[in-house]
Every structure is written in structure tokens, then in C-alpha cells.
Amino acid sequence: MTAPDLSTSYLGLRLANPLVLAASPYTRRADTAIAIADAGIGAIVMHSLFEEEYTHAEEELEKTLSRGTDSFAEATSYLPDTGVEAPSPKKYGELLTSIKRKVKVPVIGSINGSSDGGWLEYASLIQDAGADALELNVYYLAAGATSASVVEDSYLRLVEAVRKRIKIPLAVKIGPFFTALPAFAKRLTESGANGLVLFNRFYQPDIDTETLSVVPQLSLSTSDDLRLPLRWTAILSSRIKADIAITTGVHSHIDVLKSLLVGARCTQIAAEFMHMGPSRVQLLLKDLEAWLVEHEYESVTQLRGSMSAAALGDPTEFERANYIKALRSYDDRLR
């Protein structure tokens, strides 16, 4: 039997397999990004350029220029190189270009922010640096009194603004906390998103009860965290005209298979590679291939979406009815 075809398409790009490096520290250095590409990853998402970095660079520029007017003698010497430390966006673009030159897989740039402002220039910078696509990570915590519809509208404005700036495909990475996700997801695609990345893993601070302080905590995911993106991908994959990438909780080839079964085009993985290193890619691919052979699938495409809510014909499997069934399953387990 010939080896199964692991290739998939995502955002119009051909990926040799559905394993994608999620935005993570791996791309902060060219050598680690190249190591994971050499191990056989299907595509690379760069770490993000953050809106705050833009604001910071602007403030630094402002400070330098006003310092210049106070000390007249030096003023002109500030201007040629502005005195501002080489802005990180420029370095980011250079890093992306150098990674892109050295790897054969698609490289997706990433920006992370929440407002529709000057920082969106980063989108063009990333396109010009040679990215194959852009991922927009909207990390917005609606902690104020803003209503859901206002928040959603601001996402859509942001997506439209980015779409206008670039020609390359655009994926939008969002969190899971939306009241009516299918309707919102549809509007995101209408605003120009070619893909959705489900879901952003939010930083969740903890409380230290001894020091009564807030502890910044970024705990890495486990496979249990996959359930949330799995359910929503099952519900959304046949309803929206965008490719879905699952992120959060993909650690094993079984997690990859589940993601494909519910309709994801690829899986974006960070924590597992951070624990295990680049060689984990080869093992995941080997296990994925072995599973497909054992279950007589010829390709990833053949299996994709066969367990989406639409394919099952009974969407309630992923909805309320099964919740009641799950609760009842505990009835006989009381001590």
C-alpha cells in the first residue's frame, strides 16, 4: 500500500502535512525555526508583532524628538537616525525574510492587538517581508461596560482595515468567548478573513493567597483543552467559508486526527513542541501516517470533516442534548 497523502491546504497554501508551528518563541531565532522546518513541519506561524510595541516605538520617537528641541546643539544629530533603538518591527521583518529564505514551508506572519490604528502598518510590513499569509490575533478582554455588539463591530472594523492593507491571505485568531459564535464567525469572513484560528489561549492570572498578590501565570495546555476548539470547529466548519485551524490542546497524533475529523484544515501546535523539541514533529507524523494506514485512509483529505456536525447529520451531538446525557452519566456513580 502506498503511503497516505498527508497534504492539506490552508488559506490557499499547500501544506505537506497538517502540523503547523503556532506563534511561539520558536521563531524568535532563525535557527530554532529552521530546526522545526527541517523536522518536517507543514508551515510556520511567526510570533506576533504586538500593537503595544508600535505604541512604544512611537513614544520613544516622541521622547527623542522633544529631547532634541531642549538641547539645541545636539538636536540635528538626533534626526538622521532618530536616536531611537532600531524598531523591533524592522528586525521582525528581517527575521521573517531570513527564515523564509531558509525554509521550504509557508511562513505566516502574525500581528496581535485590538485597536484600529497606526500599528496596522505592521500588516504591510509583514507582507513586504515576504510572508505567505498573515494571522491577526485579536486579544481583547472586554472588561469594561462595552456591549457585545460594540466589541464584535470593533473586531470587524479591524479585520476590514487589515484586509485593505494586504493582498496575502488573512487568518483571524480569536478567543472562545463570544455569545453567538456562528453568526460572528460568518461576519468575520464577510469582512475579509480567509481563515479562523480557534482558539486563542488567554493568559489567566492566579491569586497567591499568602502574599495576596496576583500571579501572572501562563500555564501550558494539555489535550483536555482541545475539547473547546473541537466542538466549535465541528459546528462551524461546514457553515462558514473560511479555513479553520485548531490551536490549543493539540499534543498527540490522536489530537491532530480529532481536529481533522471535525473539519480543521490544520493544527497549530506550541506547547507540545516547547515540551518535546522539534524532533516531536517526526514522531507525530509517523504516528499519524501509521493510524491512517491502519484505518485504510488514503489521505488526510478523505477523512477531513467526516465528523463535523453537518456530516454527522445530528448536530445535537455537539450541542445541548448531549450535555444532559453527560450529566445523567454521573447519576449512578455517587458514593
- Least Å distance between CB 60 and ligand FMN? 21
Q: Binding segment for ligand FMN among 187-195, 232-240, 264-272, 293-301 (CB under 6 A)?
A: 264-272
Which CB, 163 or 251, lies closer to ligand FMN?
251
| 110: contact with ligand FMN by CB under 6 A | yes
Q: Binding segment for ligand FMN among 159-167, 248-256, 293-301, 316-324 (CB under 6 A)?
A: 248-256
| 247: contact with ligand FMN by CB under 6 A | yes
| 259: contact with ligand FMN by CB under 6 A | no
- Least Å distance between CB 83 and ligand FMN? 28
Q: Mask 172-191, x = binds ligand FMN (CB under 6 A)?
A: -x------------------
Which CB, 4 or 280, lies closer to ligand FMN?
280
Q: Binding to ligand FMN (CB under 6 A): which residues in 12-31?
A: 22-25
Please state the three-class secondary structure of the chain as a single string: CCCCECCEEECCEEECCCEEECCCHHHHCHHHHHHHHHCCCCEEECCCEEHHHHHHHHHHHHHHHHHHHHCHHHHHHHHHHCCCCCCHHHHHHHHHHHHHHHCCCCEEEEEEECCCCHHHHHHHHHHHCCCCEEEEEECCCCCCCCCHHHHHHHHHHHHHHHHHHCCCCEEEEECCCCCCHHHHHHHHHHCCCCEEEECCCCCCCEEECCCCEEECCCCCCCHHHHHHHHHHHHHHCCCCCCEEEEECCCCCHHHHHHHHHCCCCEEEECHHHHHHCCCHHHHHHHHHHHHHHHCCCCEHHHHCCCCCHHHHCCHHHHCHHHHHHHHHCCHHHCC
| 270: contact with ligand FMN by CB under 6 A | yes
8, 137, 191, 259: residue in contact with ligand FMN (rule CB under 6 A): 137
196, 261, 262, 269: residue in contact with ligand FMN (rule CB under 6 A): 269
Characterize the bridge pairing of strands 107-113 and 133-138: parallel
Q: Mask 50-89, x = binds ligand FMN (CB under 6 A)?
A: ----------------------------------------
| 252: contact with ligand FMN by CB under 6 A | no
| 192: contact with ligand FMN by CB under 6 A | no
Interface residues with ligand FMN (CB under 6 A)? 22-25, 47-48, 110, 112, 137, 173, 201, 220-221, 247-250, 268-272
